[in-house]
């Protein structure tokens, strides 16, 4: 068991860190959520934890794309990192009866959760998964741009319609190219291909949903049933932000 646990409340701009020692004492500090901030955090931890790589367990919530660079950085340094479903932490806080809601208190709650629950080690995404995540994010961005241009076309003056049609055609080609890259990435990675075949057995999960699930849920076989998978995916900010409906599998 790790001698020290660390809770990190991750946001887009900053990291609120709470280090909880075996003596139930906290040390807190705020760092920028940037590569430089990650290095500063590591240096700070080295000062306060004697065997920082082996004697420490770090917990953070899954927060869309904001947590992953830090999780990868610490993972590559050999740190025991756990990335937690936010609902688990919320329920833990409720059982504690914690009422105050600040970034610092969230970090301390994560440290206590880490110490009490000893959650499983985070499985860092493979190169294939990281590639898929980038492609899925790019596809979402292109589709949003296409929707915006299509909406403009519906009310556009005749003088600008040719320009809008040209932009839409360019976006359609880019979308098709990224979709082809997504399919190729999955086909070229045996693990992703196997997971994709497993997800294809679930009715209602189609060409758009499956790559997003492959990119952000990890191994689908770790879920006991379809309901558990859908419940987890519905809590994932990255999947939820995409606008994909995960409730159609019953349709």
Block mean pLDDT (10 aa), the chain, length 251: 83 95 85 98 90 82 87 92 92 77 79 93 87 93 97 97 98 98 96 89 78 78 64 54 42 36
Question: Which pLDDT belongs to residue 55?
Answer: 77
- 82 phi and psi angles, rounded to 5 deg: -120, 130
Q: How far apart are CA 69 and CA 81, in angstroms?
A: 12
pTM for the structure as a whole: 0.63
- Report whether 203 contacts 185 (CB < 8 A): no
Residue partners of 4: CB distance under 8 A and separation at least 6:
19, 20, 21, 22, 48, 49, 55, 56, 57
Q: Would you give the distance in Å from CA 235 to the centre of its chain? A: 10
- Report whether 6 contacts 57 (CB < 8 A): yes
| Three-state secondary-structure class, residue 17 | strand
Q: Which residues pair with 169 in a beta bridge?
A: none
Residue partners of 44: CB distance under 8 A and separation at least 6:
17, 29, 31
Half-sphere exposure (CA, 13 Å, Cβ side) for 120? Answer: 6
- 229 phi and psi angles, rounded to 5 deg: -65, -45
C-alpha R_g of the chain: 21
Question: Which pLDDT belongs to residue 206?
Answer: 74
Q: In this structure, what token pair is assigned to residue 230?
A: 């859908």
Question: Which pLDDT belongs to residue 213?
Answer: 85
Q: State the pairing for strand pair 80-84/56-61.
A: parallel
Q: Which residues pair with 19 in a beta bridge?
A: 6, 27
- Report whether 197 contacts 234 (CB < 8 A): no
* Domain locations along the chain: 4-117, 127-250
Angle 133-134-137 from CA coordinates, rounded to 5°: 85
Question: Which pLDDT belongs to residue 247?
Answer: 42
Architecture of domain 4-117: 2-Layer Sandwich (3.30)
- 43 phi and psi angles, rounded to 5 deg: -65, -40
What is the C-alpha end-to-end distance of the chain, expressed in Å? 46
Question: Which pLDDT belongs to residue 221?
Answer: 61
Half-sphere exposure (CA, 13 Å, Cβ side) for 7? Answer: 26
Question: Which pLDDT belongs to residue 224?
Answer: 63
If you search the block for the tokens 């693990």, which residue do you land on? 191
Question: Which pLDDT belongs to residue 246?
Answer: 42
């Amino acid at each position: 068991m790790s001698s020290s646990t660390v809770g990190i409340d991750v946001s887009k701009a900053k990291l609120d860190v709470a280090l909880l020692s075996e003596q139930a004492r906290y040390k807190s500090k705020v760092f920028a959520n940037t590569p430089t901030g990650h290095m500063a955090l590591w240096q700070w931890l080295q000062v306060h934890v004697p065997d920082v790589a082996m004697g420490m367990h770090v917990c953070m919530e899954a927060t869309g794309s904001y947590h992953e660079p830090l999780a990868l950085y610490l993972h590559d340094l050999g740190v025991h990192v756990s990335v937690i479903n936010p609902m688990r932490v919320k329920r833990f806080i409720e059982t504690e009866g914690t009422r105050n809601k600040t970034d610092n208190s969230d970090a301390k709650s994560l440290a206590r959760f880490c110490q009490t629950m000893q959650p499983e080690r985070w499985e860092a995404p493979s190169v294939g998964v990281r590639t898929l995540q980038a492609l899925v994010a790019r596809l979402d961005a292109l589709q949003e741009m296409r929707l915006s241009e299509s909406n403009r076309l519906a009310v556009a003056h005749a003088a600008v319609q040719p320009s809008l049609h040209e932009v839409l055609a360019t976006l359609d080609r880019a979308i098709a190219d990224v979709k082809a890259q997504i399919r190729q990435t999955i086909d070229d990675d045996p693990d992703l291909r196997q997971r994709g075949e497993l997800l294809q057995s679930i009715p209602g999960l189609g060409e758009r949903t499956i790559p997003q699930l492959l990119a952000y849920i990890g191994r689908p076989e770790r879920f006991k049933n379809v309901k558990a998978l859908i419940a987890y995916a519905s809590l994932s900010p990255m999947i939820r932000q995409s606008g994909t409906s995960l409730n159609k599998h019953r349709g």
